Amino acid sequence: MTITTDIAIIGGGLSGALMAICAEAHGFTACVIDAQPSHLQNFDDFDGRSYAMAHTSVRMLKALGLWQHLEQTAQPILDIKISNGGIAETPSPFLLHFDHHDLEEGPMGHMVEDRILRPLLQEHLKQRDRIIYLDETEVIEHNSGQASSGLILKGQKTTVTAQLVIAADGRKSALASSAGITYSGWDYAQTSLVCALEHEKPHRGIAYQHFMPPGPLAILPLKNNRASIVWTETKDNAKAIMGLDADAYLDVLRPRFGDFLGDIRLAGKRFAFPLEMSIAKSLVANRLALVGDAAHGMHPIAGQGLNAGLRDIAALTQIIHDAKQRGEDFGSTAVLNRYQEWRRFDATALPLALDGFNRLFSNHNQFLQDMRALGIGIVNQFPGLKRHLMREAAGLSGELPELMR
């Protein structure tokens, strides 16, 4: 059997699903091929895994008709407070405070729970007429030709033929590697510990970023007096901490967290994710484009990974849609190079910038710690600079794809 489609998307996670929904909304047919079973994307229990969706990412979800299903459970990020060495509730020279009142567009972003977002995207994959969704399916061979690409599926007498193949299969994409695309990057020797907390006092929609020598601690507001914690430690520390029971785990967290939200307790499971950076040396190959983590895997220090992936998707969709409207071959090298030219700088600059921040803030050098604290205090005194940084965090800088305007 042969499935013929405009676009074949490898990977059915967040980036792959959103790419398919975007493509379908712009008149393309799409086939999503995911190695994982679809039921792994659906779960009801609260576990705190969440995403900081920038203001422009929310605009994109609105344009796709998805935000109306997320808005009631999404927590607006009203303010962001950044500190070095300690989290303070009262203003200090060493606290950088981003206030949403200084941004005319509204909140800088929203926290969206993974357990709400993934099932919603899965539902749309299965319901939209121009999308074919194949789960528990692996690609064993990828052949790109002059006019189309062919994909042979494992254990099936099925071939998928598409004008364009999109790799959304995560860091160091196997599909990208099979097309000759290589990666640069390194292991951070850090692990991100993720959990959710219930806390006594209201967070008032404020997100906190606390820089400590082993790595940053992010406290991200969720609905119902809950917070998502993204806590970076060295690999050895993280392994030891994950081996603790719940009470001992909280005993380690409390001195880092502070008592400004009152009593805290775990809500849901705990997770650990090794951290590394990977940047694809090309975003395109013959009839192939990379989006999301397949293009750029970055440090979670500013929560920009998913937002960067959404900008990839919006930019690629716009480019291939415009090309199709002009009667061009939307999977051709000439068209895909426009995507590369648009996204190449950001896809490289953002991970490297976050890497620089991590190296600057995650060390035990006392002189650097003092300079960081002073720098944070100085930036807080310049409204124009603060507003520029807020617009960056909200995704409002640079050339925006139409879906994000």
The CATH code of the domain that includes 352 is: 3.50.50.60
User: Is 125 a member of any domain?
Assistant: yes
In a domain, 135, yes or no: yes
* 206 lies in some domain: no
Whole-Å CA distances, 147 to 176, 287, 321: 19, 8, 17
Would you say residue 212 lies in a domain?
Answer: no
- Is 211 a domain residue? no
pLDDT tens-digit series, residues 241-269: 999 999 999 999 998 888 999 999 999 89
Lowest mean pLDDT among 92-96, 102-106, 322-326, 345-349: 92-96
Domain count, the chain: 1
Q: What is the pTM of this model?
A: 0.92
User: Residue 302 to residues 69, 191, 218, 353, 398: CA-CA distances in angstroms?
Assistant: 25, 15, 9, 10, 18
Structural domain for 14, as ranges: 2-42+114-184+276-362
Task: Report the pLDDT value the prediction gives residue 366, as an integer from 0 to 100.
Answer: 65
Whether residue 18 lies inside any domain: the answer is yes
| Sign of the dihedral through C-alpha 273, 288, 3, 1 | negative
How is 108-151 classified by DSSP, letter by letter?
SEEEEEHHHHHHHHHHHHHH-TTEEEE-S--EEEEEE-SS-EEE
What are the residues facing 14 on neighbouring strands?
none
Q: Are 228 and 196 in contact (CB under 8 A)?
A: yes
Measure the CA angle with vertex 137, ends 308 and 50; round to 5°: 35
The residue written with tokens 């640069």 in the block is 184
Report the Cα 217 to chain-centroid distance in Å: 17
224/102: higher pLDDT: 224
What's the pLDDT tens digit per position in 325-369? 999 999 999 999 999 999 999 888 887 777 776 666 666 666 666
Tokens of 380: 């807080």
Q: Is residue 59 part of a domain?
A: no
For residue 174, being part of any structural domain is answered with: yes
Q: What is the pairing mode between strands 30-33 and 131-134?
A: parallel
